[in-house]
A = this chain, B = another copy of it.
Amino acid sequence: MAHQEKATSGVEWRITLEDGSSKSLVPDAGPVSRIWAGVGGLIAGLVLKVREFLRRAWDIGVDDPRKVIHCLKVGMALTAVSLFYFMRPLYKGLGGNAMWAIMTVVVVLENTVGATIYKCSNRVLATTLAGFLAFGVHWVASQSGQEFEPLITGASVFILASATTFSRFIPSVKALFDYGALIFILTFSLVTVSGYRVDKLFDMACQRISTILIGTCLCLLVTLFICPIWAGEELHILISRNMDKLANSLDGCVDEHFDYNDEHKDSDKQPDKKLLGYKCVLSSKATEESMAEFARWEPAHGRFNFKHPWQQYLKIGASMRSCACCVAALNSCIDSENQAPEFIKKHLSNICLKVSSSSSSVLKEVAKTIKTMKRSSSVEFLVEEMSSAVQDLQNEIKSLPELLSPPEVLHTESKETDDTTSTIHLLDVIPVVTLASLMIEISSRVQAIVETVEELAELAEFKGEVQEKEKQNQPNINRIVASQLNDDQQTVKALERV
């Protein structure tokens, strides 16, 4: 706007239109001011975009400060390696190969401990193996004369690279050695080919492996001892949090449907919150799998042993997804246009709310079991409560027809009016019946979730809450017994002394 004001400071042209209104004609801005305006607009747009970008980045940092910590860790590790580089004696010992330490740190240092260990072990193993193999191939090639040397080298690179690349498509290899396969090809090609030129191949290989070991050790130190983020713990938290979300979304979904007190205006806010729940569960499969993959590389940490059954978490995740699928169906069934008449809804609202709240409290209790890693004594009771609520719901549905067909209508005398009178509005009941049977299905899937968690508790040897309390009491009893014994012994001694 600024350039327009400047431009109109001279003569003003006006045109009077047919309807009598007049319009001032603004002369075209000169090319210079137009360029200025364009540049200004561009800069303003850029500034806005950058601000927006920074704001989003800030949000990400605030949302999960550990991400920021990870970034600082990467910066720190790299600076440490660089300083290493600046120390002349070390640099002289390692030669130009010191860059491999930097490369290792950049490529290997990952967000979680498990991923870092996976990459470190893969890198060291693959480099060593490929180094030795390349050394052998190089020896054979050098023995076979000048003409055959490139041939043997080329053929070995072709065959090994193709075979190793193929192995990356095999699921079991991919899960454990995907990165290793890449490094294997890389090292093998580099050493085989460069071996043709560099005479001191063995020295080079040793230097390279030692620099990689330096980088690896630094990464392991940084990842293990500075605010470690454990893939296993993340998986553990993710599963229990998702279960809470599923419970809340089930609750929210049914509550909203049967809630007559709240105004409809408020329901606009609800969907996001309740939808997020089961959608999170449905979409977290890939995350769970990669976490479980990395978790198995981790040593014992916190409450988790080395052989913690991480694969069982995937089973729990799968059973949760199957339940979330049903919640999704329930949700769309509730959102659909066909709604049951209010009186039927009212009739069933209490029992439906009971089923949903009992199902979700089972889920919450199970989530607590996972969170605390202690067997809950009340799960069995809650599951029974859920089953009885489901039974009640089924009974309630059995009694629905009485509601639908009031006796005075049913008991008509003439056979002719048959068609009109006996037509129970079954179509009206469909939404409620569907809702009910989906809720019954959900409760059976909740049962399946409980079973998978039960398995986890057995595999990971969770302690029972009661057991725990008994144990806490046990030492007291022992102490009492011991002190009694002590007293007795002292009495005996005192008697002896007498």
Which A residues have a C-beta under 8 Å from some C-beta of B? 53, 56-57, 60-61, 67-68, 70-72, 74-76, 78-79, 81-83, 85-86, 91, 96, 99, 102-103, 106-107, 150, 153-154, 157-159, 161-163, 165-167, 169-170, 172, 182, 185-186, 189-190, 192-194, 196-197, 282-283, 285-286, 321-322, 325-326, 328-329, 332-333, 336, 394, 397-398, 400-402, 405, 407, 410-413, 415, 418-419, 422-424, 426-427, 429-431, 433-434, 436-438, 441, 444-445
* Residue numbers in B under 8 Å from A83 (CB-CB): 150, 154
CB pair A418 B422 closer than 8 Å:
no
Q: How far is the CA of A162 from the CA of B165 in the complex (A)?
A: 32
Among residues of B, the one whose C-beta sits closest to the C-beta of A57 is: B170
* Residue numbers in B under 8 Å from A402 (CB-CB): 419, 422-423
Q: How far is the CA of A398 from the CA of B196 in the complex (A)?
A: 85
CB pair B401 A407 closer than 8 Å:
no
* Residue numbers in B under 8 Å from A162 (CB-CB): 71-72, 74-75
A-B contact pairs, 30 of them (CB 8 A): A57-B166, A57-B170, A67-B166, A70-B165, A71-B162, A71-B165, A74-B165, A75-B159, A82-B153, A82-B192, A85-B193, A85-B194, A85-B196, A96-B96, A102-B189, A102-B193, A106-B161, A106-B186, A107-B182, A107-B186, A285-B286, A325-B328, A329-B441, A332-B441, A397-B426, A398-B427, A402-B423, A407-B422, A411-B411, A433-B433
Among residues of B, the one whose C-beta sits closest to the C-beta of A402 is: B422
Chain copies in the assembly?
2
CB pair A430 B437 closer than 8 Å:
yes
Contact with A336, one of B61, B82, B441 (Cβ below 8 angstroms): B441
Q: How far is the CA of A161 from the CA of B109 in the complex (A)?
A: 12
* Residue numbers in B under 8 Å from A154 (CB-CB): 79, 82-83
Tell which of A150, A282, A325 has the most Cβ of chain B within 10 Å.
A325
CB pair A398 B422 closer than 8 Å:
no
Q: How far is the CA of A192 from the CA of B53 in the complex (A)?
A: 28
Q: How far is the CA of A12 from the CA of B373 in the complex (A)?
A: 58
In order of increasing CB-CB distance, the 6 nearest A-B pairs are A75-B162, A329-B329, A434-B437, A75-B158, A401-B424, A71-B166
